[in-house]
Amino acid sequence: MSDPDGLLDDLDADILDALARTWAAVDPPPADLDERVSFALRLADLDVEAARLQHDALVGSGARAAEQARTITFDCDLLSLMVSVLPGDDGVRVDGWLAPPAPLRVELRTAAAGPDGQDVVHTTQADQAGRFVFTGIPHGLAQLLVHGAGLRTVVTPGIVL
């Protein structure tokens, strides 16, 4: 093969086709990955500061997953955001803390239940200590937004409550 990049013959082409098929079968992306990304990008304003998911751990020893609280931390240059997610009979309770503490407006977006439904935005205000809480949140995809920490709104990836 004189081509510096290596000319492909039929066998190489067969191998490349088989590689694409094989990796797609052996390790496909999660079935909901496209939906999670599309939900997270369904924002009014796209000039946002992305907060990275740092830690997602199950806390407590409830026998069923439904009884367990989950603590999730998000981080960006402007702030850190820690939430504790506790499922209950009347929906999910989300307790959150902003660091550094500041009385900022916090939104929790939840995904539409059906294909024709609308996303729902729950809004609250953190207190002086940076604490906030949402209650009665439905299970499913959700995303947190924090306004006023900087020029841009801080947004988290979509998480499944």
Partner 1 sequence: MTAAAGAGTVPAEGRAAVLAGLLEKAREGDRGALDAIVREVNPLLWHVARAQGLDAEPAADVVQTTWLVFVRHLDTIRTPQALLGWLATTTRREAWRLLRQERAGADPDSEVVEHALSPAADVDEQVLTHERDRALWRALQAVSDRCRRLLRVVALVDRPDYDVLAEAMGMPRGSIGPTRGRCLAKVRELLLADPTWSR
Selected from 34, 59, 62, 131, the binder of partner 1 by CB under 8 A is 34
- What is the Cβ-side half-sphere exposure of residue 74, based on CA atoms within 13 angstroms? 22
Residue 134 phi/psi, 5-degree rounding, is -120, 140
Q: Going along the chain, which residue ranges are E strands?
A: 48-50, 52-59, 69-75, 80-88, 91-99, 105-110, 120-125, 131-137, 141-147, 153-155, 159-160
Using rule CB under 8 A, residue 59 touches partner 1: no
Residue 42 as a binder of partner 1 (CB under 8 A): the answer is yes
For residue 43, the minimal CB distance to partner 1 (Å) is 8
Residue 15 found at the interface with partner 1 (CB under 8 A): yes
For 49, other C-beta atoms within 10 Å of its C-beta total 16
Near partner 1 by CB under 8 A: residue from 91, 140, 148, 157: 157
Task: Tell me how far, at minimum, the Cβ of 42 lies from partner 1, in Å.
Answer: 7
161 binds partner 1 per the rule CB under 8 A? no
- Segment interacting with partner 1, rule: CB under 8 A, options 13-21, 77-85, 104-112, 120-128: 13-21
For the bound state, the minimum distance from the C-beta of residue 48 to partner 1, rounded and expressed in Å, comes to 6
SS3 105: strand
Q: Is the peptide bond before 28 cis (omega within 30 degrees of 0)?
A: no
List residues binding partner 1 (CB under 8 A): 1, 4-6, 8, 11-12, 15-27, 29-30, 33-34, 36-38, 40-43, 46-48, 50, 52-54, 56, 152, 155, 157-158
